[in-house]
Amino acid sequence: MEIALLVPIAFKQTKFAHDENVIVLAGDIGGTKANMSLCKFTASGMEVVKEKRYVSKDHISFTDIISNFIEGSPNPQKVCLSVAGPVIDGKVKFTNLSWQIDIKEISKTLGGSPVAILNDLEATAYGLAALKPEELHTLHQGTNETPGNIGILAAGTGLGEAGLFFDGSRYHPFATEGGHCDYAPRTKQDLGILYFLQARHEHVSWERLLSGNGIVTIWEYLTQVENKPKPQWILDAMKTTDPAAVISNAAKDAQCSTCVEAIKLFDRFLAIEAANMILKFKATGGLYLAGGIAPKIINLLNPTTWKEIFESSGRMKHLLNTVSVYVMLNEKAPMLGSIYYAGLNM
């Protein structure tokens, strides 16, 4: 039986014989958490056998987490991990942990099982194959469904970007570090935000604005530079709750005009960088918004804003108008990508 794929990713196999039973271990690893999943691929499809979430700082190494997770379970035949950062020569070193993940060390821990490590956005790209149609929300409907490259833009703790190259029949995911490219202002207010950020940072990237911290930065600019209102109850809530969540929730409930304006600016900046990605990748196959922020503020992402940004993006606006933009509603896409990569591509 062939495994059904929402997007035809160029996996090495999509079929399993009736007597096949492939056990895979997958992980979605970040500086604060490590989500682990043990899964089984058979002719009937993929089945999750076991899953668990770990707090990263509570463990001395990642191999400690693996040993705990697989205790009492059969050793996996294949392993794939999604990590937030660049993968170089099968290794990843975390900036806010003393960990280093090395495929050779993990393979040794698991008795020689083959191990792969993917950048989390590359894993998200592979995860497109595992999504269901109802797990996509259309934010901007393009005027033409032309097969072609795909872009993925993920705002969350940071800003991740990835692409899928279309070879004429199937898609090949690849990682980038595009979220760290230069922020590009368009208006006088945008320039004010740039100067505000330059006083804080040596380099101002899109990630400084298109992330959880970015939402807070925009709010700080509005209140500190433009002297917009900052209600005391908002300041009090920020002392005990994630400030980005406070701002987003207040905007959703229209309880704070400054918070509403901050999220409108965030939405506008997200549309601008999406337009940049579409042009750089010639992503006629679509642009997908992943990460933790877009699904949470989906009702605040304004299709009219996106249409206006696309139509004011220079001489290639006709190309931008043909491209559809979707919000990925399943935040487990990086994990699903790791699972499918292990089961179908190793």
CA distances from 59 to 72, 120, 344 (A): 19, 21, 30
pLDDT tops 70 at residue 96: no
Q: What is the pTM of this model?
A: 0.93
Sequence-ordered alpha helix ranges (H) in 3-135: 62-70, 103-109, 120-127
The answer to whether residues 36 and 52 touch, using CB atoms and an 8 Å cutoff, is yes
Q: Which two tokens stand for residue 48?
A: 């999750």
- In the chain the first and final C-alpha atoms are separated, in Å, by 18
Q: How much is the mean pLDDT over the chain?
A: 94
Question: In b/e form, how buried is each residue of 9-18, taking b as 16+ CB within 10 angstroms?
Answer: bbbeebebee
Segment 306-325 shows an average pLDDT of 95
Residue 139 — pLDDT band, cuts 50, 70, 90? very high
DSSP line for 242-268:
-HHHHHHHHHHTT--HHHHHHHHHHHH
Q: What digits encode the pLDDT tens for the residues 32-85?
A: 789 999 999 998 889 999 999 999 889 988 989 999 999 988 889 999 999 987
Residue 1 — pLDDT band, cuts 50, 70, 90? low
CA atoms within 13 A on the CB side of 198: 10
* Confidence at residue 17, expressed as pLDDT on a 0 to 100 scale: 77
The contacts of residue 108 (CB under 8 Å, 6+ apart) are none
Count the neighbouring beta carbons within 10 Å of the beta carbon of residue 93. 14
**β-strand partners of 34:** 29, 54
pLDDT tops 80 at residue 297: yes
Q: How far apart are CA 100 and CA 196, in angstroms?
A: 35
Domains of the chain, start order: 22-128+332-345 (3.30.420.40), 133-329 (3.40.367.20)
Mode of pairing for the β-strands spanning 115-119 and 136-140: unpaired
pLDDT tops 90 at residue 180: yes
CA max distance for the chain? 67
Strand, helix or coil for residue 82 = strand
Q: How far apart are CA 136 and CA 243, in angstroms?
A: 27
Q: How far apart are CA 277 and CA 178, in angstroms?
A: 9
Residue 97 — pLDDT band, cuts 50, 70, 90? confident
The answer to whether residues 21 and 42 touch, using CB atoms and an 8 Å cutoff, is yes
Mode of pairing for the β-strands spanning 100-102 and 91-93: antiparallel
Give residue for tokens 């991990």.
81
